[in-house]
Structure 1
Amino acid sequence: MHPALAPYVASAVAYDVDLGGAGVHRGLPSTTLTLVLPVGEPLEVGWSGLPGTRARRWSTVSGLHAHPAEIHHAGHQRGVQLALTPAAAPALLGVPSAALAGELLEVGDVAPALGDLPGRLQETPSERWLALVERALLERLSASGWGLGAVAPRAEVGHALARLTRGASVAAVATDVGFSRRHLASLVRAEVGVTPKQVQRLGRFEASRALVGRLPLAEVAGRCGFADQAHLTREWVALAGCPPTTWLREEFPFLQDIGPGPGEGLRP
């Protein structure tokens, strides 16, 4: 991605994955917003346990959330997925990050100027998907006037979010930025739509997801700030809907094909 997009796009992945047959895989929570642009057929996704949220969409935009999604597929998935920072919501989509928390929306409903992007992607060769998305985002950034370095409303809030994402305790972060815990909670919720504790949990979970399958679970727990392996497993059940061992068994073919990082499990 272009350097001008660095404050807003944490990662961008073009994927073309053969899953060997129809099924459902889990979209896991993370500390970034997600934009998924499927190619070939719509993405059928909804929040786990909430069948009323399930729909087929040619694009999916979601903010921070502390529960898994269910992504239904016919055995083959193609498209582009982006992990966006909270600053990307106002800069690229024209809405506060908090307005997207817990939502599953189409990009045209959020940012009408990007409404034709899913259709344009269908007509573009796969080797040019990322270039097309990059160009559309750069145009949107220029039009929004956010290309002048304004990437966060308050430096203290950005610093707090960064520390919480890395697993620091809410009390330590509040002391560090000089706010009471209540004031910090108000500012963080206004910025991203979830509480500081939820941001911290998401950061710890995200860190563990990068290590699960690569290290013993007890070591993952210790490295990522969980009290012990049992605590790690409880948090995985709460946030992913299953223990880490189950997730690895279910998602292994997908992980092999799409690689590590935000592509792990197509995260709305």
Structure 2
Amino acid sequence: MAAVHPALAPWVRSIVAYDVAFAGPGVHIGMPSTDLTFVLPLDEPLAVSWDGDPGSRTVGWSSVSGLHTTAAAIHHGGHQRGLQLSLTTAGARALWGVPAGAMAGQLLGLADVDPRLADLPERLAHEDSWEARLAVLEHALLDAVRRRPPPQPRPEVGRAMALLTRGVPVAAAADDVGYSRRRLTTLVHDEVGVSPKTYQRLARFSGAHARMRAAALAGELSVARVAADSGYADQAHLAREWTDFAGCSPTEWVRREFPIVQATGGQEATA
């Protein structure tokens, strides 16, 4: 995990330099969330598609995806190395000059969102250390932000999205910001590309995914505990949502992503 420059903090949630070796070629699951994903592979082009839709497959030296409700299938040859960024929805306006809603459900490259950054993968490839690559990336992002006017999403939409993330019902969030539920639905969809209810589901799922991942990395995983801590009614509820968003059950996801970890704490519930 690399530090994010303070000037980029409202737009870039995290920057991860990754170097991962697998047992062999396979497919990594790119999970849906309330963030946009920006990946810059180093050793080989990134081959990614929406799970279950091979016709959506793209191959390139950069990948930018908006919010999505289907897992991404990231194909690899046994080794992956590069930089991965999580962007806030406001980051789409700051970096690319468009609301995140304009990118929802799409797999794009840098040339699609900002031709001026199309040579960034080549610039990164010329550097021989993570420190140098991160410096090149930071400079490029700061330049992209500075040459665009400050993003201007409606503040009440931002407040409503924050309330939704905390689990406030859609109708209550609409009342809080002074909109009808229908009006709020239109504004949120225009801003991020999904309805308020779907955004809320993604936010809860993102929390569950983070907890599941942390527990798996710690070597102790209880799906039932993750469900309870994430605000799901029960383990069966989490299992249904996980299958909808990830394309597999929670324990199957753990088996695929962390093959040496065993889930504990009750029988797995299925949809």
List, as ranges, runs of 4+ consecutive aligned residues in structure 1 with deviation greater than 6 Å: none
Q: Which residue of 2 aligns with 1:145?
A: 149
Q: Is the 8 A contact 1:44 1:56 kept in 2?
A: yes
When the two chains are superposed, the root-mean-square deviation of aligned CA atoms in Å is: 1.7
Gaps of 5+ in 2: 216-220, 262-271
Q: Are 1:16 and 2:22 matched, yes or no?
A: no
Q: Which residue of 2 aligns with 1:259?
A: none
Q: Which moved more, 1:119-128 or 1:238-247?
A: 119-128
Q: Which residue of 1 aligns with 2:31?
A: 28
Q: Which has the higher contact order (CA 8 A, sep 6+)?
A: 1
Q: Which residue of 2 aligns with 1:40?
A: 43
- How far 1:254 sits from its partner (Å)? 11
Gaps of 5+ in 1: 256-268
- Is the partner of 1:179 in helix, strand or coil? coil
**Structure-1 separation of matches of 2:56 and 2:42:** 21
Q: Which residue of 2 aligns with 1:212?
A: 212
TM-score (norm 2): 0.88
TM-score (norm 1): 0.89
Aligned pair partner of 1:54 in 38, 54, 57: 57
Q: Which residue of 2 aligns with 1:230?
A: 236
Q: Is the 8 A contact 1:31 1:165 kept in 2?
A: no
Q: Is the 8 A contact 1:19 1:253 kept in 2?
A: no
- Is the partner of 1:7 in helix, strand or coil? coil
- Mapping of residues 93-108 of structure 1, within 5 Å: 93-108=96-111
**Structure-2 separation of matches of 1:181 and 1:223:** 28
**Structure-2 separation of matches of 1:97 and 1:84:** 10
- How far 1:20 sits from its partner (Å)? 2.0
> Is the alpha carbon distance of 1:202 and 1:254 closer, same or farther for their aligned partners in structure 2, counting shifts above 3 Å?
farther
- Mapping of residues 172-251 of structure 1, within 5 Å: 172-212=172-212, 214=215, 216-251=222-257
Matched AA of 2:137: V
Matched AA of 2:116: A
Deviations 1:158-195 (A, max 9, x none): 11112222333212211222211101100100101110
- How far 1:78 sits from its partner (Å)? 0.6
- Mapping of residues 113-124 of structure 1, within 5 Å: 113-124=116-127
**Structure-2 separation of matches of 1:108 and 1:247:** 33
> Is the alpha carbon distance of 1:29 and 1:163 closer, same or farther for their aligned partners in structure 2, counting shifts above 3 Å?
same
**Structure-1 separation of matches of 2:58 and 2:7:** 33
- Is the partner of 2:28 in helix, strand or coil? strand
Q: Is the 8 A contact 1:29 1:239 kept in 2?
A: yes
Q: Is the 8 A contact 1:44 1:55 kept in 2?
A: yes
**Structure-2 separation of matches of 1:83 and 1:167:** 22
**Structure-1 separation of matches of 2:46 and 2:260:** 15
- How far 1:253 sits from its partner (Å)? 6.7
**Structure-2 separation of matches of 1:123 and 1:60:** 19
Matched AA of 2:91: A
Matched AA of 2:106: E
Matched AA of 1:171: A
Q: Which residue of 1 aligns with 2:161?
A: 161
Q: Are 1:130 and 2:134 matched, yes or no?
A: yes
- Is the partner of 2:48 in helix, strand or coil? strand
**Structure-1 separation of matches of 2:155 and 2:33:** 22
Matched AA of 2:16: V
Specify the structure having the higher radius of gyration (Cα).
2
**Structure-1 separation of matches of 2:85 and 2:48:** 16
